[in-house]
A and B are shown apart, each in its own frame.
Chain A
Amino acid sequence: MANTKIMIVDDDPDLRQALRLRLRANDYDTVNAGDGYTAIATAYKERPDLIILDLGLPAGDGFVVLDRLQKDDKLSAIPVIVLTARDPQSSEQRALQAGATAFFQKPADNAELLEVIRATLPRAATGTGLPS
């Protein structure tokens, strides 16, 4: 678990820091991006095992990022958890249809978020379907 790398994409530096602290405390390595463009570039360079993605972002919002990730063979397997201040009624379906594996509205319950991260990761690590 020590080498599992999670990319945090959020335009708010304080929230990035909070999430980084939380994830590091749970033995995850983290990388950051503060906008859509950097998110995609960092995803190429760092190949994270999982991405936590905000929707409202400068330079390519979350949906643009989701779309780019989906269309790229090298990145499409990375699971994306959307974590946004936006309202689920208007955004949840759209995010899931765009390829996100889970949707959380801010502020999210930490335990719940960590559990979904845990449940999502092994599939990413092995790159195949999860042997049950």
Chain B
Amino acid sequence: MTKKATHVLLIEDNPGDADLVRLRLVEGKSAAEVNCVNRLSDGLESLKQSSPSVILLDLNLPDSQGAETFRRVREKAPDVPIVILSGQDDEALAMKALHQGVQDYLVKGAISSNSLDRAMRYAVERQALLRSLEMLRKQQLEFKNQFLSHVSHELRTPLTCIHQFTTILLDGLAGEVGPEQRDHLKTILKSVNQLGAMVRDLLEASRAESGKIRIEPRCVVIGDLLRQAVAMMQPIAHEKEIGLEVGVDTRIPFVHGDPGRILEVLINLIENAIKFTPQGGAVTVQASLVPTDPDFVYVAVTDSGCGIVPEARALIFERLYQDPNAVDNSRKGLGLGLFIAKELVNLHGGRIWVASEVGNGSTFSFTLPLYSLAKLLFPVITHQDRMRDSLVLVKVVLRPLVSPVRANWKETCQRCLEILERCVYLDKDLVLPPISASGAEETFPVVASTDLDRANIMMARIREQLEKVAGLNGAGKLEVSASAVPVPARGPDQSLEAQVQEVARVVGEMVATVPGGKQDSPQQK
């Protein structure tokens, strides 16, 4: 390596020990510049200024003791090699530090200029080696991503060709097709679709592994997503004569999440449940609240299938895991589905787990954070320590005219949101996060601290401004409506916070009942 002077940061509070180390460094062959401090805080400060070649570290300092000392130094300077100066009585601790990234240790009193010199040089070399290993690892991950991205692109072209010509034959565009031929073609089509899903999973899993999946969280009605997922999976369930049902606790407020990604998780879990449930079985999808964990919604997919053995339960969310006891062994898939589901749930700040009994089915559960309406509403609907007199909920619904929408719909919605925010008073009105219903319909709820009469003026303004949005002409249909929010009287012992909570609950219910106008049978538990 370089023959420049070694810059040594010596963190040692005992002046005698410090002097001894200095002396040994001077005796040594390599030119060393020593910066000696006697407190951890001074050491950390020095690391902020400049990066030494090596740190010589005493673990027991006036302002930090033991393992904590090297943890904090490492945190500050992860790339600088550390050699611990240990007393005879704490060699065990020094050994432990070795396993946590410290390069070497020297026992004070047994330090020769040779051993110190060598320890420092080797520490520097090893650290450099580690760094290049880490770089190599990152490069390989990146290479793997690019490779998979390229492969999946290349696979898609022939895949598309098979898909296209199979459907051309199936649809009779190339002449009459007999019933048996039709059956065979359908089998081809099914396999091609499976292949397509695998190619997609491959890329997705590789992305998840390197932390490259993006989520765009927003305000979501979880019930809508559950119903959408179940509707999409119903044909497959039907084919296997499996009952697929959905149950949503109507008290659930909004969920903070990426609707597309949550749908992906749901579909994945439901698909698995159907796969491992025998003909005539049942799969239920439920969303509920758990009183002991008030910040999350609990989603559960329960099947009446074969169940999962305990050993497998621990491994099931790992990449490439496949159940060796799976009944339906013919089409195993890549074993990436649950891994992707886990990554997606984790990205949302939730967790995912499985409960199962062999022969008695399984329940896959995951949590998603709730959107705290009360927190959002508080500064807007209270004034000088009391609730404002009247509140109105204005609902702006934007419906696409063409279905399915693929064009610039998202951008149109975003533009509408921006304009909407300019139509309200910032200190007493609040545009809530938009709600994406099934389909592409968007609801922008606005809570306004005003009465219905004055809300009408606001609504006229909103209509006028939004109709003007280029692209809305012909792209979507606008609906604006308003209803008063009943403000419950504040109880004698009730805090303002509790009152706001109550109003937030009411607002939540009022908004959640909008999309599609559907109501579930309540499932109070």
Contacts and interface: CB of A to CB of B under 8 A. Distances in A.
Given A102-B406, A112-B404, A129-B473, A85 B157 contact: yes
Contact of A15 (B154, B164, B407, B411): B164
A87 B168 contact: no
A31 interface: no
B214 A85 contact: no
Contact of A107 (B149, B164, B203, B477): B164
Contact of B161 (A14, A86, A90, A132): A14
A130 B173 contact: no
Given A115-B404, A119-B402, A129-B473, A22 B153 contact: no
B474 interface: yes
Given A12-B157, A15-B157, A129-B474, A107 B192 contact: yes
B474 A130 contact: yes
Interface in B436-491: 473-474, 477
Contacts of B312: none
A21 B161 contact: no
Given A14-B161, A18-B161, A85-B156, A102 B407 contact: yes
Contacts of B168: 18, 21-22
Interface string B376-411: 000000000000000000000000011110111001
A104 to B, nearest CB: 7
Contacts of A132: 401, 474, 477
A60 interface: no
B173 A21 contact: yes
Contacts of B207: 89
Contacts of A47: none
A19 B404 CA distance: 20
A107 B162 CA distance: 9
Interface string A7-38: 00000101100110110010000000000000
A96 interface: yes
Interface SS of chain B: helix, strand, loop or mixed?
helix
A103 B411 CA distance: 14
A119 B440 CA distance: 15
A12 B154 CA distance: 12
Nearest to B172: A25
Contacts of A105: 156
A110 B159 contact: no
Contacts of A112: 404
Contact of A123 (B203, B411, B474): B474
A68 interface: no
Interface in B148-174: 149, 152-154, 156-157, 159-161, 163-165, 167-168, 171, 173-174
A59 to B, nearest CB: 18
Contact of B159 (A96, A102, A106): A106
A107 B214 contact: no
B171 A85 contact: no
A101 interface: yes
Given A18-B164, A18-B168, A87-B203, A104 B473 contact: no
B400 to A, nearest CB: 10
A50 to B, nearest CB: 13
Contacts of B164: 15, 18-19, 22, 107
Contacts of B196: 107
B404 to A, nearest CB: 6
B160 A96 contact: no
Contact of A101 (B152, B159, B407): B407
B406 A15 contact: no
A36 to B, nearest CB: 17
Contacts of B171: 25, 110
B436 to A, nearest CB: 17
A112 B159 CA distance: 18
Nearest to B410: A96
B474 A107 contact: no
A25 B173 CA distance: 7
Nearest to A103: B406
Nearest to B159: A107
Given A21-B168, A21-B173, A56 B408 contact: no
Nearest to A82: B406
A114 to B, nearest CB: 11
Contact of B406 (A56, A85, A89, A104): A104
Given A21-B174, A107-B156, A87 B149 contact: yes
B156 A18 contact: no
Contact of A96 (B173, B411, B473): B411
A130 B477 CA distance: 13
Contacts of A102: 406-407
Nearest to A85: B156
Interface in B172-195: 173-174, 192
Interface of B: 149, 152-154, 156-157, 159-161, 163-165, 167-168, 171, 173-174, 192, 196, 203, 207, 214, 401-404, 406-408, 411, 473-474, 477
* 5 interchain residue pairs of minimum CB distance: A18-B164, A85-B156, A119-B402, A130-B474, A107-B163
Given A106-B157, A115-B402, 18 more contacts: A15-B164, A18-B165, A18-B168, A21-B173, A21-B174, A22-B167, A22-B173, A25-B173, A85-B153, A89-B207, A96-B408, A102-B407, A105-B156, A107-B159, A116-B404, A129-B473, A132-B474, A132-B477
